[in-house]
Structure 1
Amino acid sequence: MESDAATPAGFRQRKLPSKLRMRGAASDMADPNQLFDDTSAHAGPPGLGYRGQETPGMGFPAQALLTEPMSNFAVTYGSSLASQGKEMVDRNLDRLITISKLKYYFAVDTVYVGKKLGLLVFPYMHKNWEVRYQQDTPVAPRFDINAPDLYIPAMAFITYILVAGFALGTQNRFSPEILGIQASSALVWLIIEVLVTLFSLYLVTVNTDLTTIDLIAFSGYKYVGMIVGVVSGLLFGRTGYYLVLLWCCIAIVVFMIRSLRLKILSEAAAEGVLVRGAKNQLRMYLTMAIATAQPVFMYWLTYHLVR
């Protein structure tokens, strides 16, 4: 009864088994601030935590086998697709336009550009119109003023669109839609002109070294005269526009006839006299038609820009 009175809250103290007393003694010797018992001695294999979870800093072999091969496969497959796509684009692009040939038409320098612009505006004093060749290959435009190029037509086309926008702005008629229509119409007419020329050469059965890029270059030279005409109209009115545009139209006709005559008539020397005479007339008519079509386009694309 005395032991019952010494026990707090009236509970009787029972003796614990020997194994439980030993475990309690070991726990009393542990850190009093420790919340949980150390069960590392009874844990599983190293690298696994509670319930087989991966402990930080330790790699799980099964997961590594699943993730690393998949990522490597994805990278390899993506790079192979990119290389195949690049090869396909290059192959199809080479079928349409050879990059090396396209670089030829942009091989210009400042001296060539200045001389070619002067030739387009004043072609009357120029004597030799033959394109020079080196080992059956035409020399680069920067070495021959008679060689066609794409630099001047491309820059002239962009400048023409900018000048057209400025002219429309001075008349309070500028808008992005109108400028887009102006650019698209000029481009469409250029494409139509080149296609009609190619079809005409096919009908006349002309075997010439003129390529599609050459025709684009020659057709694009008229934008130089169009720019000069519109700028003159902005500075001196419609009278200045008509006078300067007339000069530029005559100049481009002379330039086109003298440039295309040698290329379109290049095979005439290898034919007989009768065949040569009949085909030469058709070729001359075709050359005159191509040349005289340039002033029509020049006026059609610029007359509404000057008031």
Structure 2
Amino acid sequence: MYDNFASGPGADLQGPRQPSPFGSAFYGAGSGFIKSGLGAYGEKYFGSNSEFQNNVSRFFSNPQYYFNVNDQYVCNKLKVILLPFLHRGHWTRIAEPVGGRLSFKPPVQDINAPDLYIPFMAFATFIILAGFSLGFVGKFSPEALSMQFTRAVVGWVLQIAVLKSILSSLGSGEVPFLDVASYSGYAFAGLSITIIMKLIWGSTYYFIMPCMSLCMGIFLVKTAKRIIFTEARNYERRSSRQNYLLLFVAIAQFPFFFLLGRIGA
């Protein structure tokens, strides 16, 4: 019954609607304006986002790169860090073309590549040895160990700040932050050796500590020279300021080792 009523005459009183040319014009203009606005906003957002990612990758690089190591690399790297004057090979890093640009090989393939495995392991070893040292002198407590941990972290940060500022002043401001962190953290390997010798033969501490400081200073100077002359885009050739700043990097290792090596004092 309702079907017949709806299909009868007079059911469609208005008839089919005609499209308005003005409405379609306004709709097309509005749609085009919205699309262009969204496109510009998206381009601006993604452009700034890609720029942000480029800045992050430039300063922090790829964290996984710094843990691509093996046992052979760790042993050879420790020899270079602890005995840099015996290293007869070159100090430059090995580059290879990747995706149309040059990229450095990972640590497992290049002894001169920076890594974070050795610094973190050396840092943890140093804290453990500091706990043993505090126990041997009867001063062990969670508060004392926490204080030693804080001193080590602050020392690492200061080491990073000094090395980063010197490299930046010498025209190597684009060195990734994690590179500088790894170079600075290698000092804890020498500190661990110093504490071990102090625990075994206490009198050898005042001989081992200057030796490890000197070795770390030589390693950092060699590394900084490589960065300045082979990896930096802008630098001053034969500048006396370079020699003074590099000498400061080497000398700064002595108070660094002395202050962190005085455990329980």
TM-score normalised to structure 2 length: 0.71
1:113 aligns with 2:74: yes
Return closer, same or farther for 1:172/1:111 CA change in 2, 3 Å cut-off. same
Q: Could you say if the C-alpha distance between residues 97 and 209 of structure 1 is closer, same or farther in structure 2, counting changes exceeding 3 Å? A: closer
Residues 186 and 301 in structure 1, CA contact (< 8 A), matched pair in contact too: yes
| Paired letter, 2:155 | W
| Equivalent residue number for residue 284 of structure 1 | 243
Name the residue aligned to 1:302. 261
- State the secondary structure of the residue aligned to 1:266: helix
Match of 2:93 in 1: 131
Aligned pair partner of 1:190 in 156, 179, 182: 156
2-structure distance, mates of 1:189, 1:253 = 15
Between the aligned partners of 1:139 and 1:120, the Cα distance in structure 2 is 19
Change in CA separation of 1:124 and 1:201 when aligned onto 2, cut-off 3 Å: closer
Taking the aligned partners of 1:93 and 1:236, their CA distance within structure 2 comes to 51
Higher RCO (CA-CA < 8 Å; seq separation 6+): 2
From 213, 221, 246, give the equivalent of 2:210: 246
Distance 2:53 2:134 in 1: 38
Q: 1-side partners of 2:220 and 2:163: how far apart?
A: 13
Give, in angstroms, the shift of residue 269 of structure 1: 9.0
Q: Is the alpha carbon distance of 1:178 and 1:267 closer, same or farther for their aligned partners in structure 2, counting shifts above 3 Å?
A: closer
Q: Does 1:265 align with 2:224?
A: no
1:67 is aligned to none
Q: Whose Rg is larger?
A: 1
Q: Matched residue of 1:134: which SS?
A: strand
Give the AA of the match of 2:204: G
Distance (whole Å) between structure 1 residues aligned to residue 120 and residue 54 of structure 2: 21
Residue 293 of structure 1, aligned match among 245, 252, 264? 252
Q: CA deviation at 1:157?
A: 0.5
* C-alpha displacement of 1:184: 1.0
Structure 1 unmatched ranges of 5 or more: 1-91
Mapped partners of 1:244, 1:293: distance in 2: 17
- Which residue of 171, 176, 183 corresponds with 1:206? 171
Letter of the 2:181 counterpart = I
SS in 2 for 1:131: coil
Q: Measure how far apart 1:205 and its partner are.
A: 5.3
CA distance in structure 2 between the partners assigned to 1:270 and 1:245 by the alignment:
36
Which digits, 9 at most, give the CA deviation of each residue in 1:134-193, with x for residues without a partner? Answer: 111110101111111100000100110000001101111000011011101110121123
Change (3 A) 1:125 1:209: farther
User: Contact 1:165/1:174 (CA < 8 Å) preserved in 2?
Assistant: yes
Q: Could you tell me which runs of 5 or more consecutive residues in structure 2 were left unpaired when the two chains were aligned.
A: 1-51
Q: Please tell me the residue identity of whatever aligns with 1:138.
A: F
Q: Pick the aligned partner of 2:117 from 139, 151, 163.
A: 151
Quote the Cα distance in structure 2 between the aligned partners of 1:211 and 1:236: 39
Q: What are the Cα deviations for residues 263-288 of structure 1, in whole angstroms up to 9, with x where unaligned?
A: 123378977xxx634xx322232222
Q: How far apart are 1:125 and its partner, in Å?
A: 2.0
Q: Who is 2:21 aligned against? A: none
| TM-score when normalising by structure 1 | 0.62
Partner of 1:77: none
Aligned with residue 185 of structure 2, among 220, 227, 249: 220
* Alignment of structure 1 residues 51-66 onto 2, 5 Å: none
Deviations 1:225-246 (A, max 9, x none): 1111111111111x21112222
Does the C-alpha gap of structure 1 residues 286 and 229 become closer, same or farther in structure 2, counting only changes over 3 Å? same
Count residues with an aligned counterpart.
209
**Greater mean alpha carbon deviation, residues 157-166 or residues 205-214:** 205-214
Q: Determine the C-alpha separation between the residues in 2 that align with 1:95 and 1:207.
A: 15
Q: Distance between the aligned counterparts of 2:66 and 2:57, measured in 1? A: 12
User: How far apart are the structure 2 equivalents of 1:210 and 1:126?
Assistant: 24
Structure 1 CA distance, aligned partners of 2:231 and 2:118?
29
Say whether the 8 Å CA contact 2:92–2:230 is kept in structure 1.
Answer: no
The 2-side partners of 1:267 and 1:129 are apart by 12
